[in-house]
A and B are shown apart, each in its own frame.
Chain A
């Protein structure tokens, strides 16, 4: 609904994102910048949240993205698509953030289990709060998907997030990432294969042996990410 409102507004204003950004570039136009911010902050927040798996970080990176957009306004070329320019800024920031975290992990490297337990609290903010008609199972499932995505190498996570959650066409993803469309496609195929493997529930042999009929099957399942 918000999106509709904004596109209606854009029609009334008769100005595209590209025109708005050009005005920001040429005149430091605050109003145009505020308009772009209003329109794009939510998609950018969601992208950053998906890529980092953390709502707080998604918010921070969103803010950083717009700061950088303004700082880099002179680099914007009128002929380029505004959204591509913006997605790229956000993606680069997410990559930097992810690399920083990786380095930190390598230095500190707490045992994996401890990290997961720790992460679960932060992750909670990312899930939609279970409403009256949704249930805990879907939240659990959401957490599994989030975890599986975070464990994918960056290049796979990016194509999945851009296609599936940001609804970019494969061609647009190629443009944003600056790679051939064929590469996007093969990355996507790999990504989906890896994701499928990571999400495949596996029966832990020891538990399977101890399995008794009538017991909750949930406790017997352990979702293991495949080591590839």
Chain B
């Protein structure tokens, strides 16, 4: 018997073959046990696919995790940028800061982030920046760990970063905030998310500080 090819059966299986083709195939099925069995086997497989269910929706917060990641990434880079800016000039060059940060925000590559921090730090004088560099790297490392692990780790990385920030001497939050505002205005959707994340972080920070005994 001349059996239709497997690929001819597929549209039939999914009810997508043209009516005249479907009629022919149905007629063949009537008289061919072999093809009937093949089709039944496929139908059984298709049916079993239904058993792998996913939760209806993902995480409640739409881009929550990436917001956190970007926020931490921004903080890390800003800290490094801040340290450099403080030593090399009176004002931080927002434009160059932004242009160095923006490509990184567009990616999730953890190692790259660490190396960017390192590269930025290297640019500056070694001795004075040593401490800041270590701090920034520690935060970057925490961030990297957060990325590698799951959500809980993410949060922990943020907490580590925040805890470090608390004790950091770069506490000029007003300036930091201004920098971030400028960043946010100047850039696009991705960075809008970052701003949201930083507002969240700032809030988190306030809460964290509020709960600490002075």
Contact = CB atoms under 8 A, between A and B. Distances in A.
A and B co-occur in one complex: yes
B145 to A, nearest CB: 15
Nearest to A134: B53
A62 B58 contact: yes
B7 A185 contact: yes
Contact of A193 (B42, B52, B66): B42
A157 B13 CA distance: 18
Contact of A45 (B16, B53, B58, B107): B58
Interface string B1-40: 0000111111101101000000000000000000000000
Interface in A34-50: 34, 37-38, 41-42, 45-46, 49-50
B110 to A, nearest CB: 12
Contacts of B188: 28, 30, 70
A16 B65 CA distance: 29
A168 to B, nearest CB: 10
Interface string A29-67: 010011001100110011001100001101110111001
B31 to A, nearest CB: 21
A149 B11 CA distance: 21
7 contacts: A38-B62, A127-B54, A142-B51, A160-B49, A170-B14, A185-B7, A188-B7
Given A163-B14, A185-B7, A199-B45, 11 more contacts: A28-B188, A42-B58, A55-B54, A56-B151, A60-B65, A64-B108, A67-B107, A127-B53, A142-B53, A160-B49, A192-B46
Interface of B: 5-11, 13-14, 16, 41-42, 44-46, 48-49, 51-55, 57-59, 62-63, 65-66, 106-108, 150-151, 188-190, 192
